Structure 1
């Protein structure tokens, strides 16, 4: 029992330390070049905070959002294209991180479902109200 308790206590004491790390350099600091900062801001508005889930990383104060903002700004400053950065973040965190998911074999049902539901509703309403004439 003691062998299990000591590693658990070490893990529990290390978790709060993660939040006490200083923020990444570009988490709250804009890039000096306005064009690069504009690209970074536009990209950050399309990326979801993984902790808040309802906010973009541009709007979130969560530590992970700050780290993601830092990565976006560093990569933009290095000359990387925004879509390449988006691809890297999707590869790292999954499709959920993007507010603009790509149409793939896994995501096409999400795009098709509303159309199918509208067609079904139209067919049901037509059958209900469009039956025989007077």
Structure 2
């Protein structure tokens, strides 16, 4: 896996860029504006580029900030969508089992009751079973 930038700093960057203010970003994130500023500095150090121009209490994205903002917003949106689908049960775990047997009924009688246990224990899991004759 490629080296990732600090994800908390990416989140702080996305919110600050969208809000146009470290103070508003801090309010949304539930942290202090100094914490947001520190996260942004960490990210700027990581990239080796300034992402915001700071003038007094105002901030504006630099060209580098404008370049990465759409991708960071999309990536965080995708992560949020995955989390929502998981919470709603839309992403099911699938368990597949297969065996070969000269006596297919043997697998049917012995293997089936035990292999159905995962679906009873974890109802969001999809279980499929196959027995093939040899």
Larger Rg: 2
Q: TM-score, normalised by structure 1?
A: 0.29
More strand by share: 2
Q: What is the TM-score normalised by the length of structure 2? A: 0.29
